[in-house]
A and B are shown apart, each in its own frame.
Chain A
C-alpha cells in the first residue's frame, strides 16, 4: 500500500442465514450505498459461531470482525442467539483484556427487514476502524 492510498479496513462479517444475511441482501436490492469493506460469511445461526472463528479471522488478518444475527426472540432455532450472546460477550471481554482495541469486534442484531440498519452497522464499523489502522496484534506474521 502506498502512502497516498487511503487505508480501507477489512471486515469479516459472520451473518446468520435467516436474518442478517437476508438483511444484507435487502440493503443490496434496495440499492442502499454503504462501504464495501465487509466480507460476508453466512453461517446457519449466530449460535453456531465458535470463538475460534473470530480468533481465526483476526489471525488471518481481519481488521475487524462483525457478528450479526436475528433479534432476541426471533431466532430460527429459538435459542441460538441467546447462546451466541453469552459466548460473544466472553470472547469480546477476553480480546479487550489482552489489549485488543474494543472497536475491533462488534455484534449486532439485524433482521431480514432491516436493510438500512445493516448498512448503518457496516458504515459505523468502518468509521470506527479507520482511526485504528491495520490490525497486526493477532495477525499471523508473513514468514510463518
Chain B
C-alpha cells in the first residue's frame, strides 16, 4: 500500500465518532467609528507602517530623496530598474525602493493584499529595502472575514497580506523593523 493510501485508510478507520457539522460563518461587523479609512490608517500605524497622501512623485521625493535603485510595477511611476516575470530575484538584491499596488486593504488590521500579477516578480516585495504601496481608499474592506470572501484567493497563485514592514522582537522583546524583508512600508492612498 502506498503511503498515501495507508494514511487515508488510517484517518478513515480512526474517524472520531459523532456528528460534527461544518458551521456557517456569521457576519461580525467592524465598529470603525464611521471612518473606515481613518481606522485603516490607525491599524496600519500600530503595526509599524505609515500612510501618506498626495501624489506618488511628491511622496517619493519626500520620503526617499537618496534612493538609487527604484523598481516600479505600476504605470503611475517610473523606476530606474526593469522588472519582468522572469527577472531573476538575484538581480533585485540591490533595490532601495519598490513601488507596487495593492488589490485591497483591510481596516481591521491595516493590511494590504499584494498579488503575483501586480508584483510581477514576488521576491521584490521582500528584497527591496523599502516598499511603497498604492491603495485605492475605496478598496478597503472592514474585516479579515470580508477579505476572505474575495475572489483573489481563488485565482492567484500567490497573494500576501502585508501589514507594516518586516519585523522581529526575537531578542529580549525589542522591536526592530527590517528583520529580513523591507525596513519600511508606506501606503499611499489615492
The answer to whether A and B come from one shared complex is no
